């Protein structure tokens, strides 16, 4: 992990009083703080700049076969979203195998391989036809999940945050600018554990496209530059244990690998 890239302390962090009245995206008056809170950024491939991550949105059950394996009827469900905290990000450098800690509290820790869209513009009520204009670039990531906790909370009709939104639950690669990759409407997405294929699908099988996700999200939340969207995982999610190596691939992006430790 390259700490320089996402543990930079910046002037964005101010005192509580100032934060309370500040508008996102509006320059804030500098003030002394009793401690620093790291700004979360990701490298941008081919650039000296880094991508500041504002929020992590994730869509649920966005591939038909995965929706069925999770117990839903994909023909009747509108898209739904959840968030992970921004500091759940674990940046994974291309060509390395990052150590990923097996989290506490779970006995059923699952991988979910996903395309990630990164926004460079914000807005509300964005039409689908214009939604891709808001994309800055793309990456690939893992929506790591404490499945037993997610399921238990769902069964009890409680928030499933503890199953999804924990520390380091969002391994992700660097951001590739749109000009380097184009948009991802098709192409293979796969995930291997210890060299054995576990997930394999095509991005064209998404129920809700990236454009539709941006549009729907912008109806519920005002989006801002720096927001990133995990676009859902295909079927055949499954467990990993300590010592397993996960490798994931999306056509047009370098592979991402982590070792569970
Ligand atoms: Mn997911």
Q: For residue 164, how far is its CA from the centre of ligand 1 (angstroms)?
A: 9
Beta bridge partners of 246: 193, 258
What residue ranges define each of the domains in the chain, with the CATH number in brackets? 42-260 (3.90.850.10)
- Give the end-to-end CA distance of the chain in Å, rounded to a whole number: 15
Q: For residue 89, how far is its CA from the centre of ligand 1 (angstroms)?
A: 14
pLDDT single digits (tens) 181-195: 999 999 999 999 999
Q: Are 6 and 42 in contact (CB under 8 A)?
A: yes
- CA 216-213-73 angle, 5° bins: 90
The dihedrals phi and psi of 191, each to the nearest 5 degrees, come to -140, 135
Residues belonging to the chain: 261
Q: For residue 6, how far is its CA from the centre of ligand 1 (angstroms)?
A: 23
Round to whole Å and give the CA distance between 255 and 242.
21
Q: For residue 32, how far is its CA from the centre of ligand 1 (angstroms)?
A: 38
pLDDT single digits (tens) 221-248: 999 999 999 999 999 999 999 999 999 9
Q: What is the value of pTM for the model shown?
A: 0.89
Q: For residue 66, how far is its CA from the centre of ligand 1 (angstroms)?
A: 10
What residues pack around ion ligand 1 (CB closer than 5 A)? 112, 143, 233
């Amino acid at each position: 992990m390259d700490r320089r890239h996402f543990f930079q302390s910046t002037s964005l962090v101010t005192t509580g009083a100032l934060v309370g009245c500040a508008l996102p995206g509006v320059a804030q008056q500098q003030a002394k703080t009793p401690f620093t809170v790291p700004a979360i950024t990701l490298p941008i491939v081919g650039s000296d700049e880094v991508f500041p991550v504002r929020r992590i949105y994730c869509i649920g059950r966005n591939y038909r076969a995965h929706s069925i394996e999770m117990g839903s009827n994909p023909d009747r469900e509108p898209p739904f979203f959840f968030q992970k905290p921004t500091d759940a990000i674990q940046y994974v450098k291309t060509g390395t195998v990052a150590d990923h800690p097996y989290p506490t509290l779970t006995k059923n820790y699952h991988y979910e391989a996903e395309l990630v869209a990164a926004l460079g513009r914000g807005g509300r009520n964005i039409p689908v036809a214009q939604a891709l204009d808001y994309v800055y670039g793309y990456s690939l990531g893992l929506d790591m999940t404490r499945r037993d906790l997610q399921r238990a909370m769902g069964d009890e009709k409680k928030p499933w945050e503890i199953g999804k939104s924990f520390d380091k639950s969002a391994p992700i690669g660097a951001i590739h600018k749109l000009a380097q990759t184009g948009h991802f409407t098709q192409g293979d997405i796969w995930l291997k554990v210890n060299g054995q294929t576990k997930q394999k699908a095509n991005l064209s099988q998404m129920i809700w496209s990236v454009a539709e996700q941006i549009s729907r999200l912008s109806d519920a939340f005002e989006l801002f530059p720096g927001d990133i969207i995990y676009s859902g995982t295909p079927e055949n999610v499954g467990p990993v244990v300590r010592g397993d190596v996960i490798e994931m691939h999306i056509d047009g992006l370098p592979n991402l690998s982590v070792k569970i430790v």
